Amino acid sequence: MKENDTGGPHVPRGRGRAVADTEGGAEGRPRADTKGSPKSSAKGSTKGSAEHNAAAYAFLTPWLIGMLVFTIGPMLFSLYLAFTRYDLADPPEWIGLENFRRMFTTDPRFLTSVDVTLTYVLWSVPLLLVVSLALAMVLNRGLRFLSGYRALFYMPSLIGGSVAVAALWRQIFGEEGIVNKALAFVGIDHGSWVGDPASALYTIVVLQVWTFGSAMVIFLAGLRQIPRELYDAAAVDGASAWRRLRSVTLPMLSPLVFFNLLLGVVNAFQAFTGAYVVSNGTGGPADSTLFYTLYLYEQGFAQLNMGYAAAMAWVLVLGLAVFTGLLFLSSRYWVHYGDER
């Protein structure tokens, strides 16, 4: 039997410490050393360890059950469904890779939904980062009523994803909406923005960018952490405002840019509410707002192709994993944590 450095038998570290702290001798030796033979001590500690583990598991049980029943179980079940034909009424029928084959070879709407979603991600995420950083920098200048502005700018983040605001968006960007009225004021005549396939998606991009508050607050916190001396030193060296932004602000903020970028990408890939409400759930006009999640929902709950919808969900998971993996790989070249040598 392997012995520990106290000369007694080996006991689990946690148990030994707990006993030593409360009941051990002056030298802090575990109780196992002072009572009984090594054999019986080992037996006793194993039993105690099991009891200790049982208590831990008992406390963990509600969480474990929740995790198994509501997260891991459904995920595994959906993975199984991805290889089946399942219409909710009849038992799932195993069809192998057929759902995936159909997705990439005979379903043009799937590819449309991928195209729409990627376009949305590529526009909305960078715009969100730029707008939120720009506003954070403005708010970091010590304006009067700063806390009021902060609350005001954060408000769209609280309500921006709601159905009510998405419905309001139809009014703002409609034929007779506020945007067109403002444009008409300066002599520009434009038709419906949400009704035109060429512009409908970009109205949803604007809706997403409008909810810049969370990213802005994170940037604002980061800006407050940048040492003033760095800017002073740069100013002494004659650095322009643009140079200070490029060489001081952005490198110092890069971990937060990365964080906001990751969150933005994950959220954008899963965007649903805006497109659902603006297009009345159709992804129209002419599939121009057919987001991936919207099409997945249509397949699952309107056309009852649950197997196909499950396959789409797993393709989304894999796509997100690849995208975030690439972001992590790229981060080593542009994210600075300040502890590099």
Partner 1 sequence: MRRTARPRAVIAAALLALLAGGCGQPMPDHSPQELRGQGEIGGDIRFSWWGSASRNERTNEVADLFEEEFPGTDVKREAADWGNYFKRLNVQGAGRNMPCVTQLQARTLGDFTARDALLPLDPMIESGAIDVSDIPEPVLDTGRGPDGALYMLPTGAAYDALTVNATLADEAGAALPDGAYTWEDYADFLRAADAGLPDDIAPVNYQGGLPNFFIAYVEGLDQDLFDGQRLGFDKRLLADYWDMWVGLHEEGLTNSPAEVAEQPPSPEAGYVAQGDVMSDSGPGNALTPVQNALDGAHPGQEVVTLPLPSGPEGRTGNVLISSGMSIPRNCDNVPTAAAFIDFWANDERGGDTYASDNGAVTNTRLLQRQLDDPELPDLKKRELALYQEIVDRDPASLLYPPGYMAVFESAFSRAFDDVAFGKKTVPEAVDAFFAEANAGLAT
Residues that bind partner 1 (CB under 8 A): 68-69, 73-74, 76-77, 80, 87-90, 170, 174-175, 191-192, 194-197, 200, 280-282, 284-287, 298, 301-305
Which ranges of 199-249 does DSSP label H, i.e. alpha helix?
200-210, 213-225, 228-236, 241-244
- Report CA 247 to chain centroid distance, whole Å: 28
Q: Which is nearer to partner 1, 169 or 219 (CB)?
A: 169
Min CB(85)–partner 1 separation in Å: 8
CA-only gyration radius of the chain, Å: 29
Shortest Cβ distance from residue 270 to partner 1 (Å)? Answer: 19
Greatest distance between any 2 Cα atoms in the chain: 97
Give residues with Cβ within 8 angstroms of 123, minimum separation 6.
Answer: 202, 205
Closest CB 192 distance from partner 1, rounded Å: 4
Instruction: For the CB of residue 311, give the shortest distance to partner 1 in the complex, in Å.
Output: 15
CB of 168 to partner 1, least distance (A): 13
Of the two residues 133 and 205, which places its CB atom closer to partner 1 in the complex? 205
**Residue 247 and residue 57: Cα distance in Å, rounded?**
51
Closer residue to partner 1 (CB): 132 or 180? 180
Q: Which CB, 114 or 256, lies closer to partner 1? A: 114
Is it true that the peptide bond before 227 is cis, omega within 30 degrees of 0? no
69/122 with CB nearer partner 1:
69
Residue 241 Cβ vs partner 1, minimum distance, rounded to whole Å: 43
Q: Please give the structure tokens belonging to residue 324.
A: 């975030």
Q: Cα–Cα distance between 82 and 79 in angstroms, integer?
A: 5
Give the Cα separation of 331 and 256 in Å (integer).
11
In the complex with partner 1, which residue's Cβ is closer, 4 or 282?
282
CB of 162 to partner 1, least distance (A): 16
Helix 306-334 × helix 250-269 angle, to 10°: 170
Residue 14 beta carbon to partner 1: minimum distance, rounded to whole angstroms: 23
**Which residues, listed in sequence order, are joined to residue 85 by a DSSP beta bridge?**
93
The H-or-E segment that residue 84 falls in is: strand 84-85
Torsions phi, psi for 320 (to 5 deg): -65, -40
Which residue lies nearer to partner 1 by CB, 139 or 277?
277
Length of the chain measured in residues: 341
- CB-hemisphere CA count at 13 Å for 130? 7
What's the rounded Cα separation, in Å, for the pair 62 and 69? 10
With respect to partner 1, which residue has the nearer C-beta, 301 or 334? 301
